[in-house]
Amino acid sequence: MTAKPFHLAWFLQGSSVQAWGEPWTGHIGTTWEKPELFLNMARSLERACFDYILIEDSSYVGESFGGSTEIYLKNAIAVPRQDPSVVAALMTQVTSRIGLVPTFGTYAYHPYLLARLVATLDQVSGGRIGWNAVTGSSDFAAMNFGMQGMPEHDLRYDMADEYMEVVRKLWGSWEPGAIIADRKSGILVDHAKVHGVNFQGKYFSTRGPLNSGPAPQGQPVIAQAGGSPRGRRFAAAHAETIVVNAKGIEAMRTYRADVHRHMEAAGRKPSECKILFLINPILGETEADAIERRKLRQHIADQHIEQRLAHFGKVTNIDFGRFDLDKPLPDHVTTNGHQLNLDQFRTMARGRSIRETMASFNAVDLTIDLCGTCDSVAARMGEVMEEVGGDGYLFSMPNVNRRSLAEIEDGLIPALQDRGLVRKAYEHKQFRDNLMAF
Ligand SMILES: Cc1cc2nc3c(=O)[nH]c(=O)nc-3n(C[C@H](O)[C@H](O)[C@H](O)COP(=O)(O)O)c2cc1C
């Protein structure tokens, strides 16, 4: 291993139909309910020594595009999807080292329920659970939980700050060594080591202690993806891993430096959080083959402009169906949803029409352009990390199937390992220890 290896994780777009309508997906439209593909994925990525799989989630059927659910349901855009805790639990039982990071929204779970669920997952996995802490962004999701709409963007993060405090206190309600399990004395738990929480906050309150017992990691790992200034501050205060779709090397450096500044202001060391950048590598047998595959990927994206706008509209709460797609996005359009995404869309637009902008927006490249043989892509990934300073990559590939997984496990990863850029074996048993190993 060289002096600066980097970390790897995978972004699974929900426990749901993967890449509907794309090549190499078999009978995904009927097989998705059973977890076989996801369990294969977990085994494959563990063989490849990934740090973790992040399981994305949202809890509503999209309705932003044209004020209808039609485009979402017809095209399997983030629906149907299952609760991520179930597939995460199943993945824990076919693996022994990889970290598993389901997403749960702070608007959807009471902190007590969340702390108990995540502690339980940490127990059944032997200390390999993280929580992707999201605030949620859609009014439709809020309405599913009896609210009229989502609180304002920055207020959601204020509420989430308090939420984290409650959850951490609940996880801390069992001191280390509280479980004695001594058959001779007949004592299971030392009651003096289990404490009430009695939290009365501005937004949440709870009594405690947690009745699940302690999480093996004590405090399970926190993952986050805040992109806006307020989101970055939240992530810098709480996260041990951040995932971000920065655009190009300069943006990667700037984002990383900014988060590090916020971490230091919050009294944390930058090394306590691993920032992973989204990538979607295109691999070929030869460079020419990879370029052909890139063209095909672009062609598929071009054929799906409306569907992709519907997905973008789902996370920004914008109805792109009401605009003339051959004109630029009007200046007055703002979002109470994902702010960074809309900012990036505008930067890319530079006077172009919505359709033209969407044709290139996250269509093929994410953080950086990676297209070539396994060897040349591995080399490029190494160079970029060297320039940025760390900490690794999050694979965000739209066409998850057995073929694309094999290309990563059996093609790209060995090329990265041969260069000493990523680990060949896990250092530890628990997730945080592996994440912080370098
Ligand atoms: C890789 C990645 C994964 C994300 N996963 C989820 C998710 O599963 N559920 C969710 O509601 N938001 C998810 N988000 C959205 C973030 O939580 C956040 O709302 C978004 O990055 C915008 O942040 P901002 O409003 O601070 O800019 C994800 C974002 C990224 C970049």
* pLDDT, tens digit (0-9, with 9 covering 90-100), for 87-104: 999 999 999 999 999 999
- Residue 419's contacts (CB-CB under 8 Å, 6 or more residues apart) are 2, 378, 379, 382
Q: β-pairing, 371-372 with 392-395? A: unpaired
Please tell me if the CB atom of residue 401 comes closer than 6 angstroms to any atom of ligand 1: no
Please tell me if the CB atom of residue 15 comes closer than 6 angstroms to any atom of ligand 1: no
pLDDT(62) > 50: yes
Atom from ligand 1 closest to the CA of residue 394 = 1
Q: Is the pTM of this model over 0.95?
A: yes
Instruction: Give the mutation target among 13, 82, 132, 234 for probing the ligand 1 site: most ligand atoms within 8 A of CB.
Output: 132
Q: Measured between alpha carbons, how far is 438 from 423 in angstroms, rounded to an integer?
A: 10
Minimum CA distance residue for ligand 1 atom 16: 225
Q: Measured between alpha carbons, how far is 203 from 14 in angstroms, rounded to an integer?
A: 29
Please tell me if the CB atom of residue 225 comes closer than 6 angstroms to any atom of ligand 1: yes
Please tell me if the CB atom of residue 338 comes closer than 6 angstroms to any atom of ligand 1: yes
Instruction: Give the mutation target among 336, 338, 366 for probing the ligand 1 site: most ligand atoms within 8 A of CB.
Output: 338
**Band of the pLDDT at 338, cuts 50, 70, 90?**
confident
Arithmetic mean of pLDDT, 319-328: 95
Atom from ligand 1 closest to the CA of residue 231 = 26
pLDDT(288) > 90: yes
Q: How far is CA 54 from the centre of its chain?
A: 4
CA-based radius of gyration for the chain: 22
As separate numbers, helices (DSSP H) first and strands (DSSP E) second, the chain gives 17, 16
Minimum CA distance residue for ligand 1 atom 8: 56
pLDDT in tens, 339-369: 888 999 999 998 899 999 999 898 888 999 9
pLDDT in tens, 172-200: 999 999 999 999 999 999 999 999 999 99
Q: Dihedrals φ, ψ of 65, to 5°?
A: -80, 115
Please tell me if the CB atom of residue 137 comes closer than 6 angstroms to any atom of ligand 1: yes
pLDDT(165) > 70: yes
Q: What is the mean pLDDT of the chain?
A: 95
Which amino acid belongs to residue 286?
T
Arithmetic mean of pLDDT, 415-437: 98
Q: Contact at 8 Å (CB) between 246 and 361?
A: no
In this structure, the number of other CB atoms found within 10 A of the CB of residue 239 comes to 27
pLDDT(301) > 50: yes
pLDDT in tens, 379-400: 999 999 999 999 999 999 988 9
Ligand 1 centre to CA of 135 (Å) is 8
Minimum CA distance residue for ligand 1 atom 28: 225
Ligand 1 centre to CA of 207 (Å) is 30
Geometric angle at alpha carbon 249, from 438 and 359, rounded to 5°? 125
Please tell me if the CB atom of residue 340 comes closer than 6 angstroms to any atom of ligand 1: yes
In this predicted structure, what is the pLDDT of residue 52?
99
In this predicted structure, what is the pLDDT of residue 3?
56
In this structure, the number of other CB atoms found within 10 A of the CB of residue 100 comes to 26
Please tell me if the CB atom of residue 157 comes closer than 6 angstroms to any atom of ligand 1: no
| CA proximity to 164, closest of 88, 240, 229 | 240
Ligand 1 centre to CA of 344 (Å) is 14
Ligand 1 centre to CA of 124 (Å) is 27
Helix residue ranges per DSSP H, 138-228? 139-144, 153-171
| CA proximity to 57, closest of 30, 78, 35 | 78
Which amino acid belongs to residue 309?
L
**Band of the pLDDT at 1, cuts 50, 70, 90?**
very low
Please tell me if the CB atom of residue 14 comes closer than 6 angstroms to any atom of ligand 1: no
